[in-house]
Amino acid sequence: MVDVSGKAETKRFAKAHAFVKIGRAALEKLPENPKGNPLEIARTAGILAAKRTAELIPLCHPLMLTHADVDAKVEDGGVRIVASAATTAQTGVEMEALTAASVAALTVYDMLKALDKRIEIQDVYLLEKQGGKSGDFRR
């Protein structure tokens, strides 16, 4: 891991995106899913994943998050996921937001795979970050 002990603690925020491409027939059956509500389960899975990012990605610093959230919305062609994370620390939360978005997308896939074998997880990327030495970024 990179030594961040010389860096000042600052407020950090990041937001990430993922899209799960799903066929129309599977999207129409989404409310009747026998496993439960995929959007709520994905939200919970993403938040839990954000909190465990350092366990999943070997060189990430473990962070005490002050905020983690996932928004999953059905739209034409699939489910759009936007995840966010925040903390006050010596390093950023981009990986936590990206992990939350990725795991939320994987959860949607898992919950709908019986309905559609052609599901695709697409467009996982950082939307924005705030704080730190490198400053703010917006896609």
What span, in angstroms and rounded, lies between the C-alpha atoms of 13 and 30? Answer: 32
Contact 4, 61 (CB under 8 A): yes
- With a cut of 90, say whether residue 133 has pLDDT above it: no
pTM: 0.95
Tens-place pLDDT, residues 62-120: 999 999 999 999 999 999 999 999 999 999 999 999 999 999 999 999 999 989 999 99
Question: What residues are annotated to the active site?
Answer: 110
The distance of Cα 63 from the centroid of its chain, to the nearest Å, equals 16
pLDDT level of residue 22 (50, 70, 90 thresholds): very high
How far apart (Å, rounded) are the C-alpha atoms in residues 51 and 44? 11
* Range 52-56 contact pairs with CB under 8 angstroms and sequence separation of 24 or more: 52/99, 53/95, 53/96, 53/99, 56/99
Of 51, 36, 52, 12, nearest to 108 (Cα)? 36
Rounded-to-integer distance, Cα 80 and Cα 75, Å: 7
Distance from C-alpha of 95 to C-alpha of 29, rounded to nearest angstrom: 32
Domains within the chain, CATH numbers bracketed: 10-138 (3.30.70.640)
At residue 58, φ and ψ (nearest 5 deg) are -50, -40
